[in-house]
Amino acid sequence: MSDFLVDLGQNATARQIVRTLGLPIPMPQKLRRAKGPWEARPLQDQDVLVSASHGGELQDAIATALASAGANPWIVGEPAEAAAYVGPGEAYGRPPTTLARGEVSDDVSPHAILFDATDMRTPAELRALYDLFHGWLPRLRRCGRVLILGRPPVGARTPAAAAAAAALSGFARSVAKEVGAKGATAQAIYVERGADDRLAPLLTFLLSERSAFISGQIFHVGRAVKVTDAPKPVLPLEGKVALVTGAARGIGKATARLLAAEGAHVVVLDRPEDDGPASQTAREIGGSVLLVDVSAEDAPETIASALAESHGGVDIVVHNAGVTRDKTLAKMSPQQWDLTVGVNLSAVVAMTEALLDGPFRDGGRIVCLSSIAGIAGNFGQTNYAASKAGIIGYVEALAPSVAKRGITVNAIAPGFIETRLTDAIPPINREVIRRMSNLSQGGLPQDIAEVVTFLASPGSVGVTGSVIRVCGGNYVGA
């Protein structure tokens, strides 16, 4: 599972030779990933450049988020535009520094560049993006971050404002492609009016090393879900019970580990024949084991009863168990169809219904594993892609109906992640797929686990009904 080109890219001489000879070999940047549990100051001493069109409606939210995470704000604009940063800066010892528009300082190589476009009214005002990023983007650090913030185009005050708002997504996606070789990422975040106070946890997560493999994505922060718990910067899952299906190995195992590291008691669920690795995972993280085939007819009832009786309920459910049975449709057996759709989709629906009617607590979090195959389709994967697209439809439909209970429901669509599932792909195809993304490499199970952990935390309350692609900005063809 080691990536030869990522390892080679670590060697400065090799990078130089490839550059000098002009060889068409991608030398992927090794991504910086978080080590250890959540910290109070995840952006400690990082320089973050911020600018806004007009005043920017999110300046107070951004100022507080940056200061409390330990970042140094550099404001590009008039001195008056730094006003929002003075109070939080004093409280956390992070005073803002102001730079004039058009001035690019050689003294600063920002970790991140943020643009607040919330009050952009016309397409002509998009020019402010060019003016800021033209000079500053080359100064972005390796593994840096770009975030473009706006109001959702739907519901904009005028069609012209909607056009300007929608343009932000195309800009962010393209920047992600331009900075990918540096291991850096770019995303757009649309914040609904009235949801500004729900932005900070997502902002901090996306600026941190925990979002290493998310590139070119569009996020939405809304106010539909009732708030039941305050966000917590450290040990966010303390006192919570989490169920992770398919947790004996791969992405599920990495997820179980991270959820436990953030304070959750994790119930490690896998098939009865996977007793060995499932029990080992549970032992390692001080969790419990539950051996059930999720596609068995009585599985929903068995799981709901076990969670109620042994744990008094459940707060976080991660539907991760999944299988592939790849064949072109003409060669696929009915069993291969049934098994894939049964485990990946029917079991998720049946189990969720039983849990919501039973031990699932208000304020809970549901995260389902979809796939980029569910977005773009894939040759030989009609069964798998159908099941994973079904997950997206399910999440979108379920989210509004449980919002009043304070429950969020989201899907994660991984791209190429280095696990047993992708080890089964022939080596040449594997090598090609790895390079087909902004970051020119595959992800690790940890990358998915980090996003699940964020979505499981109280601070993610603004994010629901979403599909988050964690794929390094894979060229999905959709």
Q: What is the nearest approach in angstroms of ligand NAD to the Cβ of residue 256?
A: 11
3-state secondary structure of 149: strand
CA distance 269 to 253: 10
CA distance 160 to 275: 58
3-state secondary structure of 4: helix
Q: What is the nearest approach in angstroms of ligand NAD to the Cβ of residue 273?
A: 8
**Residues paired with residue 191 on neighbouring β-strands, in sequence order:** 221
Nearer to ligand NAD, 53 or 302 (CB): 302
**Residues paired with residue 74 on neighbouring β-strands, in sequence order:** 49, 97
Whether 92 is catalytic is no
* DSSP symbol at 62: H
Site string for ligand NAD, 246-285 (x = CB under 6 A): x-xxxxx-----------------xx--x-----------
State yes or no: residue 343 binds ligand NAD (CB under 6 A): yes
Nearer to ligand NAD, 85 or 337 (CB): 337
Q: What is the nearest approach in angstroms of ligand NAD to the Cβ of residue 283?
A: 16
Catalytic residue among 85, 190, 384, 394: 384
Among positions 137-176, residues that touch ligand NAD (CB under 6 A) are none
The one segment of 173-181, 213-221, 243-251, 326-334 that binds ligand NAD by CB under 6 A:
243-251
CA distance 192 to 30: 35
State yes or no: residue 295 binds ligand NAD (CB under 6 A): yes
Q: Which of 47, 293, 315, 326 binds ligand NAD (CB under 6 A)?
A: 293
Q: Which of 71, 117, 200, 369 binds ligand NAD (CB under 6 A)?
A: 369
Q: What is the nearest approach in angstroms of ligand NAD to the Cβ of residue 278?
A: 8
Nearer to ligand NAD, 195 or 369 (CB): 369
Nearer to ligand NAD, 207 or 395 (CB): 395
Rg (CA), the chain: 22
State yes or no: residue 294 binds ligand NAD (CB under 6 A): yes
Q: Are 295 and 339 spatial neighbours (Cβ–Cβ below 8 Å)?
A: yes
* DSSP symbol at 424: T
Q: Which of 321, 345, 395, 398 binds ligand NAD (CB under 6 A)?
A: 321
CA distance 477 to 353: 33
Among positions 392-421, residues that touch ligand NAD (CB under 6 A) are 414, 416-417, 419-421
Burial class (CB in 10 A: 0-12, 13-18, 19+), 181: middle
State yes or no: residue 326 binds ligand NAD (CB under 6 A): no
Which DSSP helix (H) or strand (E) runs through 116? strand 112-116
Structure tokens belonging to residue 54: 């007009």
3-state helix/strand/coil string of 383-418: HHHHHHHHHHHHHHHHHHHHHHHCCEEEEEEECCEC
Q: Which residues form the catalytic set?
A: 384
Which residues of this protein are in contact with ligand NAD, per CB under 6 A?
A: 245-246, 248-252, 270-271, 274, 293-295, 320-323, 343, 369, 371, 414, 416-417, 419-422
